[in-house]
Chains A and B, each alone.
Chain A
Amino acid sequence: MTLIRLIGGRVLISLLTLLIVSALIFWILEVLPGDVASRILGRDATPETLALLRAQLHLEDPALTRYLRWLGGMATGDFGTALTSSRPIVTILEPRIFNTVLLAGYAFLLYLPLALIPALIQAVRRDRPADHALSAVTLVLLSMPDFLIATLLLVTFVVAVPLLPAISLVDQSSTALEYFRAMTLPAVTLAIVMAVYAVRMLRDNLIEVLGSDYVRMAELKGLSRRKVLLRHALPNALVPTLNVTALNLAYLIGGVVVVEKVFSYPGFGSLLVDSLQLRDLPLIEATVLIAAAVYIAANLLADIGAILLNPRLRAA
């Protein structure tokens, strides 16, 4: 009962946040800049084209009316029409989101072992050479921008050892193998960046948990090292790491923007950049709102996961 109430509360707060975000996005893009039409058309604007655009975007209506209409459309799945291509935004989004979800899933599969294994090694071999070496590697990787990691991978696996394609163009006609080849480098890049954050956090959590009273107690009960680690230490260390994983999901949404750009992968991220470059207002609004929604959903899932995993939170 309390569990349902607790989770229900989180869901409500998430929805509220999403509502505020939508208002914020709308305000930043359509209210803050003043005359939206001339901003979009720039110097080529003529009075006729301006009037046309204003009519198309209903700019003569009060901001609140426009916001509510836009919000209503978003809520019912009607994302409007793109300015530049005049196609319904839904049909533009669909293949892009499919590609990105595929990429993200692939990256996530690579991320789990990349995060878990080094952290376990470091925590168990604390302050030994293996720990220091892995610390140094994670620190360097942590300091590398994702576009640099992507570039280095590109240079290694495309230029030096030509195994994979430099440009990851795929479309609906691509085969599974083509998809796999196209996605590997972007996915590895994303996985490395996510794992690096998680490794540091997980290592510290593990070390803290390994020093806790209950782990000492488990040891003094006569449990073997392996049992202590797997039954008592790891599950408790993983709970706070859930938050990092949520943050990582959130990173993924920003990360795909850069990484997809580097590999010219036709996903959601490159669509966001393209729409910004083309100043396609309805498309920008839709993509940004979706990005925020995914972030909020990821955090919500992590919260719920933490509630389910950590019995102490349930009582709170």
Chain B
Amino acid sequence: MSGPPAPNFVEVRDLSLAYLHEDGWLQVLSGVSFSIAPGEVLGLVGESGCGKSTLAYQLLGYRPPTAKLLSGQVRLGGADLLAMSRAELDRRRGNRVALIPQNPASALSPGMRVGRQVAEVLTAHRRAVGRSAAMAQVVQLFEAVGLPDPPRILRRYPHELSGGQQQRVAIAMALACGPDLLVLDEPTTGLDVTTQQQIIALLTELRRRKRMAMLYVTHDLGLLAQIADRVGVMYAGQMVEVAPTRVLFLQPRHPYTRGLIASIPQLRPGERVGKPLRGLLQRDELPPGCPFQPRCDFAEAACAAELQVLEEAAPGHEVACRRWRALASPVAIPLPIAGEAVQAAQMPLLALEGLAVTYVSAGSMFAKPVSAVRDLTLAIERGETLALVGESGSGKSTVARAISGLLAPSSGQILFKGERLAGRLRQRPRALRRTIQYVFQNPDASLNPRMRVGAILARPLEVFFEARGADLRGRIDGALQDVRLDESYAQRFPDQLSGGERQRVAIARAVIAEPELLLCDEVLSALDVSVQANILDLLKRLRAEHHLSMLFISHDLAVVREVADRIAVLFRGELCQIGPARAVFQAPMHPYTHALLMAAPSGPAALAGLVRAPEPAAAPKAPSDAACPYAGRCAWQAGEICEREPPPWLDAGNGSHIRCHLSLAELEARALWRAEPQPAGPPAAAEERAAP
């Protein structure tokens, strides 16, 4: 790190920082050093709480009042940001270094029109004199970031824009003064998969055009494969590995990096490499040496005592692990693919026939009823896992709520073992309420914070089995063991558990009722990647042990790939495609399925240079019965017919059924997705084709 003055534009040296907590100072960054060359994109990855965002904000010289700088420098073009006065910082922030925030919805001032918010940056840095000059520039900026109709948009308030548009405004704001460095703090985390992909495409394009340096912070390693030149991996406030992106994916050195890569769910069979991460980052129980030692599969006793520093493993590849030489390169472990549907001849466990659900939004007597799900017909066989996929707002959860009895269908029927289910919960007998159990997305909200875990698990037993005494306690202990939690957990309150443990308790509460059908509503999406893998394994095991059928709702195709027997793709409340998991992941496929697959962030797949279909950012139109619901957003639109007539069902022959006006041959020809991984191609070619 010493020697002649580095050509690097950003130079962070030995940065250590602590936060004031209830119980004293907690060190969140320890001795972090790295650099970014002009025009280079450095990705920063790690689990939540590893200090990556704190680090990112140091490049803007920003510390909350509760933070204390222990040591270090952040040099930007030679000057130390951490030693500057507020006035000096003000001259650089937004001007030479700009931030793209994690959540544009909260980062844009709610009471100010977005145009003025961007213009403010221009005038503050004297890039525009006068209101009209500034606004003219804002219009250009909005055009550059692909916002439709800029003169109209700039008069909007933030809440009047969609999440994607808000993020585009925030990007325009960051680009306003043509900064040398962009700091991106999880810029796509709050967004839909498809929107996320559009934003990534925009950023990639901007990067090529403007040659700005970027620091891209994310918890999603797969995403970095698409955009970063180099990646830094952080763990517990330390940089544990830095390497060029491709090298990091192909030859990860640090055990933590390996675990992270292995934890990424894969869209293709046999791609998963190594063992996923176990355990959780516990900041208050770190050993004096390597912070990863408690979770490391390769750890020796000495690791806990010896401080690890970055050393060069190969040119440009640094790793902070004393054992990196000793670790063999990872071995690919082929994973079994989920089995095909079992015994389809039997009567299905659950069948939906022409199900429709409409909402009347509460609070307004003028509101029109909104149709959330229309004419849905599908079945779940005994022991089968059916996955329901689609973006948010596609009506996935509505289906689960209708099955559970929380929402009465407005037409159609739900058959359970051939018998019609009452629409309302109250009219269903107790035994039926027991056999269908629901696991919610967010365990923080689904566990009563004022009840101990034992009491939470006792309720279903008391209500459904009238169990008490030793029998009750025995069953609770059994259920805890089932989800791999210690008996002592019965005495804890939910807020004494980690997110993953809470979800285990929520699953235990569902399974303890001995259900036949488990409704899993985005059960992984509130969890960290490393925890997701564990919960997924748990669900697969419980499914086998308890002979459960599952309706597995998710927006994440990679997760679905691992767990589902069959997959149903939903768009705006209508079914687009349904079929065995293997078939759905093969061409021919519905244009929407294809868009979802291409949008899914997944490390090696993206690295392999796959093209994503650009989605036209057209305004969503009101769904009408007389059209394909996907018309207007479809990249492969067959023509005017899509707007006029409902599409027919096509039988793909491999068990998959697709609802589209295009012919099977056309669908097959248009699909760029291949079920087998392709050899790595030059990413540049991909970009050309991706450009709108």
Residues of A within 8 A of B (CB): 5, 126, 211-214, 216-225, 227, 231-232, 235-236, 239, 309-312, 315-316
18 A/B residue pairs, CB under 8 Å, sorted by A: A126-B65, A213-B103, A213-B107, A214-B110, A217-B170, A220-B99, A221-B173, A222-B93, A223-B124, A225-B86, A231-B109, A232-B109, A236-B109, A236-B111, A309-B111, A310-B110, A311-B111, A311-B159
* Contacts known (A213-B101, A311-B157); A222 close to B112, Cβ less than 8 A: no
Given A213-B103, A223-B90, A225-B86, decide whether A239 and B124 contact each other with a Cβ distance below 8 A.
Answer: no
Which residues of the other chain, B, contact A217 by a CB distance below 8 angstroms? 99, 101, 107-109, 170
Residues from chain B with a CB closer than 8 A to the CB of A315 are 159-160
Set of chain A residues within 8 Å of B64, measured between Cβ atoms? 211
A235-B111, A311-B159, A312-B157 known; A212 and B124 CB under 8 Å? no
* A219→B90 CA distance, assembly (Å): 8
Binary contact readout B70-113 vs A (1 if CB under 8 angstroms, 0 otherwise): 00000000000000001101111111001101010011111110
| B324 on interface, CB distance cutoff 8 Å | no
Residue in contact with B110 in the complex, picked from A221, A231, A236, CB distance below 8 Å: A236
Residues B111 and A310 in contact, CB atoms below 8 Å apart: yes
CA of A114 to CA of B93, assembled, Å: 35
Complex formed: what's the CA distance from A5 to B364 in Å? 11
B125 near A214 (CB under 8 angstroms)?
no
A212 cross-chain contacts in B, Cβ below 8 A:
106
Q: How far is the CA of A311 from the CA of B159 in the complex (A)?
A: 8
Contact (Cβ within 8 A) B62 A219: yes
A221 and B60 contact, CB distance less than 8 A: no
Chain B contacts of A239 at CB under 8 A? 111
Other than the given A217-B109, A220-B93, A222-B92, 4 more pairs (CB < 8 A) read: A211-B64, A216-B107, A222-B89, A316-B363
Q: Which chain B positions have C-beta within 8 A of A227?
A: 120, 124
Residues on B with beta carbons closer than 8 Å to the beta carbon of A223: 90, 94, 120, 124
Q: How far is the CB of A61 from chain B (nearest CB, A)?
A: 37
In angstroms, Cα B109 to Cα A231, docked, is: 9
Q: Please, which residues of chain B bring their CB within 8 A of the CB of A309?
A: 111
Is the beta-carbon distance between A220 and B60 smaller than 8 angstroms? yes
Q: Does B121 contact A (CB under 8 A)?
A: yes
Which residues of A are found within 8 Å of B112, using beta-carbon distances?
Answer: 231-232
Q: Which residues of A contact B94 (CB under 8 A)?
A: 220-223
Instruction: Give the CA-CA distance A222 to B88 in the complex, in Å.
Output: 9
Nearest CB of A to B282, in Å: 27
B106 contacts A222, C-beta separation under 8 Å? no
Interface residues of B (CB under 8 A from A): 60, 62, 64-65, 86-87, 89-95, 98-99, 101, 103, 106-112, 120-121, 124-125, 157, 159-160, 170, 173, 363, 366
Minimum CB distance partner of B113 in chain A: A311
Q: Once bound together, how far apart are the Cα atoms of A219 and B99, in whole Å?
A: 11
Complex alpha-carbon distance, A5 and B668, angstroms: 51
Residues of A within 8 A of B121 (CB): 221-222
Least CB separation from B62: chain A residue: A220
Is there contact, CB below 8 Å, between B62 and A216? yes
Q: Which of A214, A218, A225, A236 has the most CB of B within 10 A?
A: A214
Closest B residue, CB atoms, query A311: B157
**Residues in chain B near residue A126, CB distance under 8 A:** 65
- B373 CB to nearest chain A CB (Å): 25
Q: Lowest 9 A-B CB distances belong to which pairs?
A: A222-B94, A221-B94, A222-B93, A213-B106, A311-B157, A217-B107, A213-B107, A214-B109, A220-B99
The closest CB in chain B to the CB of A214 belongs to: B109
Residue among B109, B124, B363 making CB contact with A222, cutoff 8 Å? B124
Complex contact B93–A221 (CB within 8 A): yes
Question: Which residue of A has the minimal Cβ distance to B99?
Answer: A220
Contact status B173-A312, CB under 8 Å: no
**Complex Cα spacing A214 to B124, Å:** 16
B120–A221 touching, CB < 8 Å: yes
| Bound CA span A309–B112, Å | 10
Please measure, in the bound complex, the distance between the C-alpha atom of A309 and the C-alpha atom of B125, giving whole angstroms: 28
CA distance A234 to B91 in the complex (A): 23
User: Which residues of chain B are within 8 angstroms of A310 by Cβ–Cβ distance?
Assistant: 110-111
CB distance from B85 to the nearest CB of A (A): 12
Q: A219-B62, A224-B90 are in contact. Are A311 and B110 (CB under 8 A)?
A: yes
The closest CB in chain B to the CB of A6 belongs to B364
| Minimal Cβ-Cβ distance residue in A for B160 | A315
- Please give, as numbers and ranges, the residues of chain A lying within 8 Å of B120 by CB-CB distance: 218, 221, 223, 227, 231
A309 CA / B124 CA spacing, docked (Å) = 25
User: Which of A217, A221, A309 has the most chain B CB atoms closer than 10 A to its own CB?
Assistant: A221
Q: How distant is B228 from chain A, measured CB to nearest CB, in Å? A: 22
Residue on A with the closest CB to B97? A220
**CA distance in complex: A225, B120 (Å):** 14
B90 interface neighbour in A5, A216, A222, A312, Cβ under 8 Å: A222
- Cα–Cα distance between A27 and B38 once the two chains are bound (Å): 79
- Would you call A214 and B157 a contact (CB within 8 A)? no
* Shortest distance from the beta carbon of B110 to any chain A beta carbon, whole Å: 6
A231 to B318, CA, bound (A): 46
- In Å, the complex CA distance between A219 and B107 comes to 11
B86 — nearest CB in chain A belongs to which residue?
A225
Q: In the complex, which residues of chain A have a beta carbon less than 8 angstroms from the beta carbon of B99?
A: 217, 220
Residues of A within 8 A of B65 (CB): 126
A126: nearest residue on chain B (CB-CB)? Answer: B65
Q: Which residues of A contact B93 (CB under 8 A)?
A: 219-222
Q: In the complex, which residues of chain B have a beta carbon less than 8 angstroms from the beta carbon of A211?
A: 64
A311 to B111, CA, bound (A): 6
Considering the complex, give the chain B residue whose CB is closest to the CB of A217: B107
Q: Kindly state the separation between the CA atoms of A234 and B111 in the bound complex, as whole angstroms.
A: 11
Residues in chain B near residue A214, CB distance under 8 A: 106-110
CB–CB A312/B101 < 8 A = no
A221 cross-chain contacts in B, Cβ below 8 A: 93-94, 98, 120-121, 124, 173
User: With a CB–CB cut-off of 8 A, which chain B residues contact A231?
Assistant: 109, 112, 120
Q: Are A312 and B106 in contact (CB under 8 A)?
A: no
Q: Contacts of A312 on B, CB cut-off 8 Å?
A: 110, 157, 159
Q: Tell me how far the C-beta of B74 lies from the nearest C-beta in chain A, rounded to whole angstroms.
A: 14
Q: For residue A78, give the distance in angstroms from its CB to the closest CB of chain B.
A: 35
Once the chains are docked, how many angstroms separate the CA of A211 from the CA of B103? 15
A224 to B125, CA, bound (A): 11
Beta-carbon nearest neighbor of A313 in chain B: B159
What chain A residues lie within 8 Å of B107 (beta carbons)?
213-214, 216-217
Q: Which A residues touch B170, using CB under 8 A?
A: 217
Q: Report the separation of the CA atoms of residues A235 and B92 in the bound assembly, to the nearest whole angstrom.
A: 26
Residue of B nearest to A211 (CB): B64
Closest chain B CB from A53 CB (angstroms):
46
Residues in A neighbouring B90, C-beta threshold 8 A: 222-224
Which B residue's beta carbon lies closest to that of A215? B109
Contacts of A218 in B (CB 8 A): 109, 120
Task: Determine how close the nearest CB of chain B comes to the CB of A200; give it in whole angstroms.
Answer: 21
Alpha-carbon distance between A269 and B124 when the two chains are bound, in angstroms: 52
Q: Cα distance A220–B65 when bound, in Å?
A: 15
Q: Residue of A at shortest CB range from B159?
A: A312
Assembly CA distance A221 to B124 (angstroms): 8
A310–B109 alpha-carbon span in the complex (Å): 11
B247 to chain A, nearest CB (A): 32
- CA–CA, A1 and B5, complex, Å: 63
Minimum Cβ distance to chain A for residue B118 (Å): 9
* A194, chain B: closest CB distance, angstroms: 25
Q: Which residues of B contact A220 (CB under 8 A)?
A: 60, 62, 93-94, 98-99
CB-CB < 8 A to A216: which residues of B?
62, 107
CA distance A265 to B173 in the complex (A): 58
Residue of A nearest to B92 (CB): A222
Q: How far is the CA of A207 from the CA of B336 in the complex (A)?
A: 54
C-alpha spacing A110/B363, complex, angstroms: 39
Distance of A216 Cα from B106 Cα, bound (Å): 10
CA distance A219 to B64 in the complex (A): 12
A5 in contact with B366 (CB, 8 Å): yes
Chain A nearest CB from B217 CB (Å) reads 14
A231 to B106, CA, bound (A): 16
Residues of A within 8 A of B157 (CB): 311-312
A225 contacts across to B, CB distance below 8 A: 86
Q: How near does chain A come to B248, taking the closest CB pair, in angstroms? A: 29
